[in-house]
Amino acid sequence: MEAVKSFYDTPVPARFTGMLSWLITLDHKRIGLMYLFAILFWFLLAVLLGGAIRLELMFPGENIMHADLYNSAFTLHGVIMIFLFIIPALPAVFGNFFLPIHIGADDVYFPKLNLLSWYLYMTGGVIAIVSLFSDGFPDTGWTFYVPFSISTNTNVSTAVFAAFILGFSSMLTGLNFITTIHKMRVKTMGWLQMPLFTWSLYATSWVQLLATPVIAITLVLVMVERFFNVGLFDPARGGDPILYQHLFWIYSHPAVYIMILPGMGVISEIIPVFARKSIFGYKAIVASSMAIAIAGSLVWAHHMYTSGMSDTAVFVFSLLTFVVAIPSAIKVFSWVATLYKGAIQMTPPLFLSLCFIYLFSVGGLTGLVLGAAGANIHVHDTHFVVAHFHFTMFGGTGFAFFAALHYWWPKMFGRMYDFKKAYAAAILVTAGFMLHYVPMFVLGLQGMPRRYYDYLPQYAAGNFFAGFGAMFMILGIGLMMVNLFLSFRRAQISDPDPWGGVTLEWTVPSPPPVHNFVTDPDVLDYPYDFSGVVAGAVNKSRRT
Ligand code: HEM
Ligand SMILES: [Cu+2]
């Protein structure tokens, strides 16, 4: 394949160069990378905040921060991790970069809207920073529950306004992806020839589009209450604080599928490549992505069993919570069935995907414990809940993000990283993860409440060990990032397909040219057909 100019060397529009050619780019790949660098900044900031919280909890009593600062620290940690990292991470970075290539297109349907979404994301981030100053960052928790979020004199209005703006970036990205998948697929690609990452983005985009307006309205109501004191959530004036919880979780539970569905899509891309085997149950995985998006919108009140709901309501939401676990289990089964009797090629992306499958399964299974009303009422608002959602969100989407970074890094930058350092970092993060969050399950079962900067003496040992876990995890994350960026010191790789993948991104040069394809995309009848790929060491695999 003769050398063609990559998208780094061909700005769109062509008349702009340098930094400006990035800031007003209409190239989906550049927009994907601009999200990547912003998202890495926020992630690492929130990881350090997580480390600070953990350090405060490592010993009983006041250590590095007093109670008010602790409340703001975990709120900021949660708000950044949710709205600025985990929700946009996979769709905005890898969706933007790879969705058009996966369907044989040269861009998304609305390039200008795509750039606007990035600017909304950046604006939301800046406003979140602004809310740190003057009255200080909110101390409400990332859930901004009323009545405290109405009465507290910290910067709640600014912070919820930041989340409101970020919501628009998410909605517009969803709208763009749905239109692109309907309108921009190459003629030879039918719906059941699309890669599973594309399908996961399709399901995610519908949730982004339909659920995000609910949180937007809810956040506006909080601002209205803080400015005009209307009494919407005040029982003394005919309002109801529980209404806020319903509105908040009607978005925020489906939002966990905005987080995990693209992660599941990434794993469905990686497993067949390194098992050298067609994915098991392609249609079942497609159907379960859509089923998760639909059923996931019906379970929100499982966050509210202790809010005084009727037993009937608790029963219904508990039952629905068990139902929504089924499509997730189908995916885990399909990934394991694909690995079974595969010609396994161990690589950092596969290793991180295996960690995802294990950690997300623990997260999912403890989700069933929380879905059962009896158990839930015992562990509600304890560190058991905190451990559970770190297993699903960090162990799930976080590790899928790490796996996607290692899988697509050579395609995005044309560089390969050091495998040994990649494995060392992944092992450090995973071991630290287990040592950090497993004790929190036990502490929660023993009754340790979340969101307190101090605790009773009987919780000291668990928090001490968890402290070391967090240190290993943060060290591992640091090594991982350093190793990836050290790849820029290495020679450009010439092989467009270092892994032996069969989806379209592996047919174009690394990095891709500005319009993605040099020759017309050659769509496979079945997206994961490895019959043409020779088993053998990575880097040497070639189509016959
Ligand atoms: C180095 C990594 C991390 C560490 C050390 C860490 C530590 C913690 C701790 C100790 C808490 C509980 C605070 C309390 O209730 O008193 C917490 C809360 C939280 N963490 Fe993390 N975490 C990390 C990564 C993540 C990631 C990757 C995510 C999201 C994807 C996340 C999302 C959250 C959220 C949403 C809360 C709840 C905040 C609240 O109560 O409002 N964390 N984290
Ligand atoms: Cu939920």
Rounded Cα distance between 212 and 539, Å, is 42
Pocket test for ligand 1, best of 48, 57, 81, 474 (most atoms within 8 A of CB): 81
Rounded Cα distance between 266 and 262, Å, is 6
- Name the burial class of residue 427, with classes exposed (0-12), middle (13-18) and buried (19+) by CB atoms within 10 angstroms of its CB: middle
Residue 497 within a domain: yes
The pLDDT tens digits of the residues spanning 99-155 come to 999 999 999 999 999 999 999 999 999 999 888 776 777 999 999 999 999 999 999
The whole-number pLDDT of residue 3 equals 66
Residue 399 within a domain: yes
Is 70 exceeded by the pLDDT of residue 536?
A: no
Nearest CA among 17, 203, 29, 193 for reference residue 106 = 29
Which of the ligands is closest to the CA of residue 389?
1
The whole-number pLDDT of residue 337 equals 98
Which of the ligands is closest to the CA of residue 260?
1
The pocket around ligand 1, CB under 6 angstroms, is made up of 47, 50-51, 53-54, 57, 74-75, 77-78, 81-82, 86, 141-142, 386, 390, 393-394, 398, 450-451, 470, 473-474
The whole-number pLDDT of residue 543 equals 44
Rounded Cα distance between 106 and 516, Å, is 6
Rounded Cα distance between 430 and 1, Å, is 39
Pocket test for ligand 1, best of 42, 77, 258, 360 (most atoms within 8 A of CB): 77
The pLDDT tens digits of the residues spanning 235-259 come to 999 999 999 999 999 999 999 999 9
CA of 530 to the centre of ligand 1 (A): 40
Residue 8 within a domain: no
pLDDT band at 533 (very low <50, low <70, confident <90, very high): low
The whole-number pLDDT of residue 544 equals 42
The pLDDT tens digits of the residues spanning 34-75 come to 999 999 999 999 999 999 999 999 999 999 999 999 999 999
Residue 254 sits in a domain of what CATH number? 1.20.210.10
The pLDDT tens digits of the residues spanning 472-506 come to 999 999 999 999 999 999 887 778 999 999 999 99
- E strand or H helix that includes residue 40: helix 28-57
Residue type, 80: I
Which residue CA neighbors atom 21 of ligand 1 most closely? Answer: 50
Is 90 exceeded by the pLDDT of residue 160?
A: yes
Which residue CA neighbors atom 6 of ligand 1 most closely? Answer: 50
Nearest CA among 227, 228, 244 for reference residue 147 = 244
The pLDDT tens digits of the residues spanning 189-226 come to 999 999 999 999 999 999 999 999 999 999 999 999 99
pLDDT band at 535 (very low <50, low <70, confident <90, very high): low
Is 80 exceeded by the pLDDT of residue 302?
A: yes
Residue 7 within a domain: no
Enter the DSSP assignment of 81: I
CA of 473 to the centre of ligand 1 (A): 13
Rounded Cα distance between 467 and 477, Å, is 16
CA of 370 to the centre of ligand 2 (A): 9
Is 90 exceeded by the pLDDT of residue 424?
A: yes
Enter the DSSP assignment of 236: G
Residue 2 within a domain: no
Pocket test for ligand 1, best of 386, 397, 453, 454 (most atoms within 8 A of CB): 386
The ligand 1 atom at the shortest distance from the C-alpha of residue 142 is 41
Residue 363 within a domain: yes
Q: How many domains does the chain have?
A: 1
Average pLDDT over residues 4-19: 81
Compute the CA torsion angle 428, 433, 436, 440 (nearest 10 deg): -170
**Residue labelled with tokens 């709901």:** 309
Q: State what percent of residues in the chain have pLDDT above 70.
A: 97
Is 50 exceeded by the pLDDT of residue 1?
A: no
Residue 411 within a domain: yes
DSSP assignment of 149-175? HHH--SSHHHHHHHHHHHHHHHHHHHH
CA of 449 to the centre of ligand 2 (A): 19
Cα torsion 519, 7, 400, 482: sign: positive
pLDDT band at 540 (very low <50, low <70, confident <90, very high): very low
CA of 300 to the centre of ligand 2 (A): 5
Residue 519 within a domain: yes
Rounded Cα distance between 81 and 269, Å, is 25
Is 80 exceeded by the pLDDT of residue 537?
A: no
Which of the ligands is closest to the CA of residue 250?
2
Rounded Cα distance between 515 and 501, Å, is 21
Range of the domain at 390: 19-542
The whole-number pLDDT of residue 541 equals 45
Whole-structure pTM value: 0.96
The whole-number pLDDT of residue 542 equals 45
CA 527 and chain centroid, separation:
24
